[in-house]
Structure 1
Amino acid sequence: MNRFFLLFAVCTFWCYRVGAQEEGVHQQSTVYEWPTDPLVKQKLDHWQDQKFGMIIHWGLYAVPGIVESWSICSEDWIGRDSTIAYPDYKKWYWGLKKDFNPVHFDPDQWAGAAKAAGMRYVVFTTKHHDGFNMFDTKQSDFKISNGPFAANPKADVAKYVFDAFRKQGFMIGAYFSKPDWHNENYWWPMYATPDRNVNYNIKKFPWRWQKFKDFVYNQISELMHNYGSMDILWLDGGWVRPIETVNAEVRSWGAKIPETGQDIDMPRIAKMAREAQPGILMVDRTVHGPYENYQTPEQRVPDHKLNNPWESCMTLGNAWGYVPGDKLKPAAKVIHTLVEVVAKGGSLLLGVGPQPDGMLTKESVARLQEIGKWVNANGAAIYNTRAIDNYKSGDTYFVQSKEGKTEFAIHLVKNNAVPDVVEWEGNIPAKGSVVKAVATGEKAKWSVAGGKVTIQVPSKLKNNKENPALAFSFVKG
């Protein structure tokens, strides 16, 4: 079995890295519908001020250190040990519940690391596609609070995660998977499970599908009523959607969606959620319409500025959850991505995965602290900003303050070589404007000739050889 775990972990991890870039990630819908509820619009505007968040994937998959949920899905891009029969594999995977005992579970460590990184909102996986619940649901016994961790005072994991991040002033988001591969009313044991979808005809068995819809409604209701103030309901599994939303664009993604669709009655869910949590943002990923309050391109940054609210969800390493030896992205790469995302009008949701014992790895904490050194020093150029049309010139990105009076130029430093001067075209400071380095407050000499702005990099900024980006503020011209 040790051999199996090792071979499987390596195979699944690398198959996921290669295949899931096309098969397992969510595409981005291009249609957007602005909300009309004043409280939702107010919450959305406040969310757009935050810019940087953490998404936490934690569940059964952390125990063997493999990719989240997908290994139990029978699609041809999934890698598994070919000597293990599929039913036996699912039985083994779901049996990990007896081994999941995170005795060092420390959500304050998570929240502190996120705070140090300069993050301002969190999205926590209350349940992924495998159906294992990280909250004390009364709708299922398949949960962290029904196993070896049950007697722990923090057995209702989600409660303590949300509380820890609230204490740090974060906006709170609950990730919830609409599909549930453990639920017999989604994957009915009477039939095989050929792919990620419901495995029976919901038109032929409407009573069974209704049971599943009620199950989803009741679980979301628990999250909305029993876990304090919520800002975001982040719904994953975009293939669970009404058939009328499956347009040519969705089909072009290669989406494997039954002709019956998989309508779980989002109007009913949203009504309940907003009665319990007025103004909550509904993020029904890729299902364009009134319940996708912001779009969520995954593992990529759009190639142009978007004029509607959006968020790139990306991993700190290669995997969403904990995988031993996962290689983390350099701090400079994350910071450069954050700058580009913000300049294009979006927010960055960065993924980390706690270990099976309940702690973030030392490497993740250190990397987040490294990211935070820059973000916290240059926050004025990130938080509470908005995109402008001329958002880039060479390696320099531009944003403006929310009220529109101040503009920021953020130059990406390449190869750890802080330049003597920074130059860009357009976005010329107002005549007589004082240009300042955001991180140090130093005044920077500047000039303009032929539409090109030249900034002399101040000494303190230049002497920081590890500075991944240089941010300057000035009054708009």
Structure 2
Amino acid sequence: MYQFDLERYEKRMEWYQDARFGMFIHWGLYAIPARGEWVRSTEEIPKEDYMPYFDEFNPTDYDPHKWAKAAKEAGMKYVVLTAKHHDGFCLFDSKYTEFKSTNTKCGRDLVAEFVEAVRAEGLKVGLYFSLLDWYHPDYPHYRDKNHPMRNNPAYGNENRNFDNYLQLMHNQVREICTNYGKLDVLWFDFSYDDMRGEKWHATKLMDMVRSLQPDVVIDNRLEVSGEGHGSLAEGNPKPYHGDFVSPEQMIPPNGICDVNGKDLIWEACVTMNNNWGYCANDHYFKPAGMLIKKLVECVSKGGNMLLNVGPDARGNIPEESMAILKTIGKWMKKNSESIYGCTKAGIEKPDYGRITRKGKKLYFHLFENTIGPIPLMGIRKEEVEKIRWLATGAEIPVSTSWVHSDYPDIVFADLGPDPVLPDDVDTVLEITLK
């Protein structure tokens, strides 16, 4: 009988909670039509009309060392690549399908090159694997919620054997857990309708993964999708429970707790624009400053951020994404101590920003300045050992101004006469407690 091992769980999650910031990479054949990673489903494209992209695929600029370097310079600690997305195309050399990168003009095992490049930069390696497969003949077609042929009665399911698909899926998971060294993250995607849990033979699958990769960190999507928290949150973890909750395209308003009020480990996966895969006409990129603040928000609520890039058909991360990563990296070089290893502060969010904490250090993130000295709510004057600008280490004195004499129980920091903060996105104060 399966029993949840809390001590082992907490040990395997240590690095992940310290990292706080990772890169997601959605990339595959769908970069060629360049209308997003769901293009085959949203446009209900038959297999024969999708196969020309397979015949064309040849990312001549693919250099995962550039991707890994960009992630590291942005301050990210782990990178997760879509080894196989919903269209069924494998970026790795699977012996169980012909629908793979080694059979294209490219002729390369792209996952093998990726894991080598990421490890070379000292980053943790993650692989994404879709539970869905719109290519496989035994995956449900007609009236499946997501399949491209869901509305076409000519693609009925009468002669489809789902067990055949499950065998292939399990075999491919075994391949990625066997052929590419130690994996740090395995990101399954996703469950829906009755396609969840044991429909995937999830206990058997998880037993196999844990036997091959005992320390790998796994998301919760064998049970749920971007919505739903899973059995770990319900206080009765199933054998295939995930290690973290995976909210998508949103940050939980108050973090995430289980039914007993205990904080859960979670990760918000977020796109830079409005698509995961490359979309040539999607220029709605979130500003770097916004993404920095959202990273801080995640950490202040006890979570991670997994920020996505969608390389183009040649294998290049879009210029807009690279510019955003560089700006984030510039901020992280000065302020990463307020992110890595940090979590909730146990203090109510101030009007002017957010607070993260690591042991006896509190990090007050100032998104805007105040009129007069800045109130450091939630701490007492006698608790404060010192206050510093995190970016420079310069001393910030405790204010003795008369203007806040009506509030003797609140510590105020004297930032000086300039109303403009040193960093117009997020200026960080480091408060060391006694």
Question: What TM-score, normalized to structure 2?
Answer: 0.84
Which residue of the other structure, out of 298, 314, 319, is the alignment partner of 2:275? 319
Question: Partner residue of 2:80?
Answer: 123
Change (3 A) 1:463 1:473: closer
Question: Partner residue of 2:12?
Answer: 43
Displacement of 1:454 after TM fit? 2.3
Matches within 5 A, 1:53-202: 53-68=22-37, 70-73=38-41, 78=42, 80=43, 86=44, 89-150=46-107, 155-187=108-140, 192-196=142-146
Partner Cα distance (1:176, 1:429) in 2: 51
Question: Partner residue of 1:280?
Answer: 216
Runs (5+) with no aligned partner, structure 1: 1-32, 81-85, 240-255
After TM superposition, the structure 1 stretch with the greater mean CA deviation from structure 2, 121-130 or 315-324, is: 315-324
In 2, are the aligned partners of 1:394 and 1:424 still within 8 Å (CA)?
no
What residue identity is the alignment partner of 1:407? Answer: L
After TM superposition, the structure 1 stretch with the greater mean CA deviation from structure 2, 290-299 or 423-432, is: 423-432
In 2, are the aligned partners of 1:35 and 1:41 still within 8 Å (CA)?
no
In 2, are the aligned partners of 1:57 and 1:352 still within 8 Å (CA)?
yes
What residue identity is the alignment partner of 2:385? Answer: S
Change (3 A) 1:461 1:276: farther
Residue aligned with 1:122, SS: strand
Question: Partner residue of 1:295?
Answer: 245
Once the two structures are superposed, what CA deviation does each residue of 1:188-220 show, in whole Å capped at 9, x if it has no partner?
Answer: 6xxx355326979xxx98992221111111000
Which residue of the other structure, out of 366, 377, 396, is the alignment partner of 1:411? 366
Change (3 A) 1:128 1:382: same
Partner Cα distance (2:321, 2:167) in 1: 39
Residue aligned with 1:385, SS: coil
What residue identity is the alignment partner of 2:177? Answer: M
Change (3 A) 1:265 1:90: same
Partner Cα distance (1:113, 1:37) in 2: 35
Matches within 5 A, 1:212-251: 212-239=165-192
Once the two structures are superposed, what CA deviation does each residue of 1:16-62 show, in whole Å capped at 9, x if it has no partner?
Answer: xxxxxxxxxxxxxxxxx995164442121220000000000001110
What residue identity is the alignment partner of 1:267? Answer: T
Displacement of 1:361 after TM fit? 2.0
Partner Cα distance (1:451, 1:161) in 2: 54
Displacement of 1:421 after TM fit? 4.4
Question: Partner residue of 2:412?
Answer: 454
Residue aligned with 1:444, SS: coil
Displacement of 1:387 after TM fit? 1.2
In 2, are the aligned partners of 1:418 and 1:467 still within 8 Å (CA)?
no
Partner Cα distance (1:231, 1:51) in 2: 14
In 1, are the aligned partners of 2:139 and 2:160 still within 8 Å (CA)?
no
User: Is residue 269 from structure 1 mapped to residue 205 from structure 2 by the alignment?
Assistant: yes
Question: What TM-score, normalized to structure 1?
Answer: 0.77
Displacement of 1:148 after TM fit? 1.0
Displacement of 1:296 after TM fit? 0.7
User: Is residue 442 from structure 1 mapped to residue 410 from structure 2 by the alignment?
Assistant: no
In 1, are the aligned partners of 2:347 and 2:377 still within 8 Å (CA)?
no
In 1, are the aligned partners of 2:367 and 2:424 still within 8 Å (CA)?
no
Partner Cα distance (1:433, 1:335) in 2: 28
- Identity percentage of aligned residues: 31
Residue aligned with 1:390, SS: coil
Residue aligned with 1:145, SS: helix
What residue identity is the alignment partner of 2:244? Answer: Y
Partner Cα distance (1:453, 1:141) in 2: 66
Change (3 A) 1:35 1:451: farther
Partner Cα distance (2:3, 2:18) in 1: 17
Question: Partner residue of 2:292?
Answer: 335
- The Cα RMSD (Å) is 2.8
Displacement of 1:284 after TM fit? 3.0
In 2, are the aligned partners of 1:425 and 1:451 still within 8 Å (CA)?
no
Change (3 A) 1:305 1:264: closer
In 2, are the aligned partners of 1:342 and 1:382 still within 8 Å (CA)?
yes
In 2, are the aligned partners of 1:429 and 1:476 still within 8 Å (CA)?
no
Partner Cα distance (1:429, 1:102) in 2: 59
Displacement of 1:179 after TM fit? 1.1
Question: Partner residue of 1:310?
Answer: 266
In 2, are the aligned partners of 1:43 and 1:231 still within 8 Å (CA)?
no
In 2, are the aligned partners of 1:57 and 1:125 still within 8 Å (CA)?
yes
User: Is residue 350 from structure 1 mapped to residue 312 from structure 2 by the alignment?
Assistant: no
Displacement of 1:461 after TM fit? 11
Runs (5+) with no aligned partner, structure 2: 225-229, 232-236, 257-262
Displacement of 1:445 after TM fit? 1.5
Displacement of 1:263 after TM fit? 1.0
Displacement of 1:270 after TM fit? 1.5
In 2, are the aligned partners of 1:40 and 1:280 still within 8 Å (CA)?
no
